[in-house]
Amino acid sequence: MKRRPVVTGPVAWAAVALLALSGCSSTSPGNGRQNPDAPIEIWIRQPPASDSEKTAQRLAEAFTKESGVPTKVVAIFDDFETKLQQQATQRNLPDIVINDTAGLGNMQQQGWLREVDRAAFPGADKLSDRAWKAAQASDSRYYGVPFSAQAFALLVRADWRARLGLPEPKTWQQLADLGKAFTERDPDGNGKKDTYGFDIPGTTQRGYMSWYFSSLLWANGGDFISASGPGKWRPAIDGDRAVEAATWLQSQFCANRSVIPGAVNLNTTSAHEVFEKGQAGIYLVGPYVLARFVGNVGSDKIEVFPVPNGPSGGPGTLAEGENVYLMAGSENQAGQQKFAEFATSVAGQTIGMNGDNNGAIVRLPVSRDVDMAAVRKDPRWQVFQSAYETAGVYTPSVPNWTPIRQTSADSLNAVMANCAADVRQALAKLADQLGAELSKQDALAS
């Protein structure tokens, strides 16, 4: 597939400028080297041969049937970002990437993304304003089209809680008590002390520890960084509410010892298995695993609760999702545009939701025209929907969130791994590191 050269590295911003001058926007007629019959290659960050890939295939097939534009779906999970970088180096990016909202800044900085004109995008007014915000970069322009949303909530072993006669966790103290009881009081009734409260993907890999902690941070009114004027931020991770949230989490690791052993080395793949095997009974996670757990653990054994407000704040929980990114260098920009329109239509969103079945690539629909209750009969999805609408917090739209998330994960992982660590001191050091990163991105408030 022929591509127009894609520029990466130090001259990325110049490349973006050149693309803009040449009319490379989501609504431009092309650059004279377009081929409207060229197939659209779609990359999605999902495991190959998974139910999610099959859903993506159905979405692509329905799009081709409606538009006549041929497609090729490529599912990649491990090292997705690395492989995308390799394609950029070879000047052969895919046409479409369906990827995390948090990845926008990094891709936009490297000049990989075409700008989207929200005002001219068909049906833009039918898409959630909150979701559109996650497609907006630090320059206030849009570089993606919202496709899927989600917010984090607590998946709890209902049978364990019922067996122990414990209340729904509505405060952090009740949540801590539930975790401790699941660890100490034999909730599965097998006569062995082989269960734990909290299932936590706390590795530094891909910034997972920061990713997990963010819901607790925002539920307590804290933040990693805070806005301080247009396009500028200050470190906030050393604030009292952030320290309180990190101290509470460290207490679950250390004082209560209610976290699954080895959590500081777990990624999400392993954490999913921990919950499925009945090794831990509380999992703060997105709705994308609900259908899987219902099938593998049992519907009657799983309940969903919103993240309780922290002692000093709330409500708040991590909101994220995926955008459809129109990649630079495509020889079929019209096809890119058509796919984005179909993916956000009622038909496209409904296919992506995949009912109550495993393999959803649209977790919560971004289109207001979609009646989720008509597509999904499981009422537990509504807990996630409500959390998104009332408490969801997206990561800040700094030029590049990735190094901030990674640096935060490294620091928080060390705090949870070392019970002697001084939380306030560690977060003060982290604040200095985040300040240095913001300065590097020319985003630090003076």
CB within 8 Å of 434: residues ≥ 6 apart: 224, 225, 235, 237, 404, 407, 408
In a domain, 445, yes or no: no
Task: Tell me if 432 is assigned to some domain.
Answer: yes
Looking at the structure, do residues 238 and 312 belong to the same domain, yes or no? yes
Q: Are residues 260 and 144 in the same domain?
A: no
Q: How many residues does the chain have?
A: 446
Domain that holds residue 200: 153-316+397-440
Sheet holding 280-285, edge to edge: 196-199, 280-285, 153-157, 302-305
What's the mean pLDDT when you consider all of the chain?
93
The CATH number of whichever domain residue 85 belongs to comes to 3.40.190.10
My answer on whether 410 and 329 are in the same domain is no
Residue 133 has pLDDT above 80, yes or no: yes
Give the pLDDT of residue 345. Answer: 98
Q: Kindly report, residue by residue over 360-378, the tens digit of the pLDDT.
A: 999 999 999 999 999 999 9
pLDDT digit string, tens, across residues 303-355 = 999 999 999 999 999 999 999 999 999 999 999 999 999 999 999 999 999 99
pLDDT tens-digit map of 167-186: 999 999 999 999 999 999 99
In a domain, 4, yes or no: no
- CA angle, 409 then 232 then 129, to 5°: 80
Dihedral of alpha carbons 325, 326, 328, 331, sign: positive
- Specify whether 27 is located in the same domain as 111: yes
Q: Is the pLDDT at 82 greater than 70, yes or no? A: yes
Give the whole-number percent of the chain exceeding pLDDT 90.
90
For the packed helices 346-353 and 333-343, what is the interaxial angle rounded to 10 degrees?
70
pLDDT for position 368: 96
In the chain, how many domains are there? 2
Res 33: pLDDT: 85
Q: Which of 397, 31, 26 has its CA nearest to residue 224?
A: 397
pTM: 0.89
Nearest to 348 by CA among 129, 126, 47, 39: 126
Same domain, 312 and 336: no
My answer on whether omega of the bond before 47 falls inside 30° of 0, hence cis, is no
Does residue 392 lie in a domain region?
no
How much is the average pLDDT of 293-302? 97
Mean pLDDT over residues 432-444, rounded? 97
Could you give the percent of the chain with pLDDT greater than 70? 93
Maximum pairwise Cα distance, the chain: 72
Which residues have CB under 8 Å from 72's CB, separation 6+?
A: 39, 40, 41, 42, 60
pLDDT at 176: 98
Within this chain, do residues 185 and 70 fall inside the same structural domain, yes or no?
no
Quote the CA–CA distance of 100 and 398 in Å, as a whole number: 15
Whether residue 407 sits in one domain with residue 377 = no
* pLDDT of 16: 37
Query: Mind listing the pLDDT tens digit for each residue in 88-125?
Result: 999 999 999 999 999 999 999 999 999 999 999 999 99
- Whether residue 420 sits in one domain with residue 301: yes
SS3 353: helix
- Rounded to 5 degrees, φ, ψ at 440 are -60, -35
In a shared domain, residues 239 and 380 = no
Judge if 99 and 85 occupy the same domain: yes
Residue 10 pLDDT? 36
Among 359, 385, 411, the domain boundary falls at 385
**What single letter denotes the amino acid at residue 161?**
R
Residues 256 and 364 in one domain: no
Do 257 and 403 have their domain in common? yes
5: pLDDT strictly greater than 80: no
390 part of a folded domain: no
